[in-house]
Amino acid sequence: MSEFFALALGCGTRNRNEEWLETWYPAPVLHPDDALLNAVREHLDYEGGNVVLELSHRQVGQLARDWRKADHEDQAAWAVAFQESRRPVVLTLLEGDADPVSTPEAYLKLQLISHRLVRPHDTRLQGIFPLLPNVAWTSEGAVDLDELPERQLLARLEGRVLEVNSVDKFPRMTDYVVPSGVRIANTARVRLGAYIGEGTTVMHEGFVNFNAGTEGPGMIEGRISAGVMVGRGSDIGGGASTMGTLSGGGNIIISVGEDCLLGANSGLGIPLGDRCTLEAGLYLTSGTKVKVLDENGETVDTVKARELAGQNDLLFRRNSLTGAVECVTNKAAVTLNEELHKHN
């Protein structure tokens, strides 16, 4: 019998048509044990599968009592808190890691990544976009776009201003999850579903998309596109960009190895190995013609950049006289400034 994938208790927002806009799960559980699941089976008549169950206050209380008896104090405490919720309370159960088919399932998958319970690419997200409604993210939470003018009017009549921070399918990660040991200068630039590893600094112009992120520690001053994972000790320089699966990378999974540097305003379209450097201003795509130089600076071969994908200790640069892209052994591996990356 395969291991149960995930369980999460949360609350969410629906519009007037009873359609889900979002769901928050403060403490999702990956691979829950029988003690958690047995209470669900007993009180909710759960018989298996991937389901979203809306709970009454009585059912939430029953789960809280049984989970406490089973020494799951943390989950019991959240259940007690949700008994006072004015928002719909849901229990999302994912028996297997299948593609999400509902908004609460999609939100659970994204939060599993941001809670660092699963890594990018380690859970199925196919078909997620139609499940994420485009909503107004406001100072009062998610608001259906058709209902926004009325909500703004009501706020004004009450002497308030309903601030609209963005209109998007994805909310800010930090409105749902704040991982330990990180610095994020502009929280609007890190989407829910990002994986931000311990010791990561995301500067004001840094951006991290969903299903992407960093192992940490690292300095992110550029763009980490969807699907891209950056290894330990690597820096993404100011204005630098990684080509994700949604921005032209196709089915190629772009990644950055450990102790790498993407110089300012550079671009990456191939997977990098460890201890690699991409010169500032150089955009390297898989089809870029690269001259491979030996230790004496002599050209030994000319290849497409994709043939160097994943190799370690490489420096990619542009010859300032000829404009040719060159690759040499990187003899000065990046060493991060330890003081700069401290978060305490």
pLDDT at 174 over 50: yes
pTM for this entry = 0.92
Mean pLDDT value of segment 266-284: 96
Q: Which residues contact 277 (CB under 8 A, 6 or more apart)?
A: 260, 261, 263, 314, 315, 316, 330, 332, 334
Q: What is the pLDDT of residues 27-38, one digit of tens each?
A: 999 999 999 999
3-state secondary structure of 270: coil
Q: Which CATH class is domain 6-132?
A: alpha beta
pLDDT at 46 (0 to 100): 92
Mean pLDDT value of segment 192-196: 98
User: How much of the chain, in percent, has pLDDT values that exceed 70?
Assistant: 93
Mean pLDDT value of segment 32-60: 94
Instruction: Please tell me which residue, 335 or 201, carries the higher pLDDT value.
Output: 201
* CATH of span 173-329: 2.160.10.10
Residue 223 is encoded by which pair of tokens?
Answer: 């763009």
Residue 273 is encoded by which pair of tokens?
Answer: 């190995």
Q: Quick check: 223 and 205 in contact, CB under 8 A?
A: no
Nearest CA-CA partner of 272 in 282, 260, 263, 264: 260
Residue span(s) of the chain under CATH 2.160.10.10 come to: 173-329
Active centre residues (catalytic): 221
Task: Please name the residue ranges forming H helices in the chain.
Answer: 34-44, 57-69, 73-82, 103-114, 148-157
Q: What angle do CA 300, 242, 297 make, to 5 degrees?
A: 20
Tokens 């890594």 belong to residue: 119
- Report residue 244's pLDDT band, with 50, 70 and 90 as the boundaries: confident
The per-residue pLDDT of the chain, averaged, comes to: 93
Q: Quick check: 235 and 219 in contact, CB under 8 A?
A: yes
- Report residue 252's pLDDT band, with 50, 70 and 90 as the boundaries: confident
- Report residue 325's pLDDT band, with 50, 70 and 90 as the boundaries: very high
pLDDT at 333 (0 to 100): 44
Q: What is the pLDDT of residues 61-86, one digit of tens each?
A: 999 999 999 999 999 999 999 998 88
pLDDT at 330 (0 to 100): 67
In whole angstroms, give the CA distance from residue 271 to residue 278: 12
pLDDT at 1 over 60: no
In whole angstroms, how large is the CA radius of gyration of the chain?
Answer: 23
Instruction: Please tell me which residue, 198 or 247, carries the higher pLDDT value.
Output: 198
Instruction: Please tell me which residue, 132 or 341, carries the higher pLDDT value.
Output: 132
Half-sphere exposure of 344 (CA within 13 A, CB side): 3
Look up residue 159 and give its amino acid: G
pLDDT at 332 (0 to 100): 52
Residue span(s) of the chain under CATH 3.30.60.70 come to: 136-168
Mean pLDDT value of segment 220-242: 97
Q: What is the pLDDT of residues 115-131, one digit of tens each?
A: 999 999 999 999 999 99
User: Chain-centre distance of CA 240, in angstroms?
Assistant: 19
pLDDT at 91 over 80: yes
* CATH of span 136-168: 3.30.60.70
Half-sphere exposure of 239 (CA within 13 A, CB side): 9
In whole angstroms, give the CA distance from residue 257 to residue 229: 8
pLDDT at 294 over 60: yes
Residue span(s) of the chain under CATH 3.30.70.2010 come to: 6-132
pLDDT at 318 over 60: yes
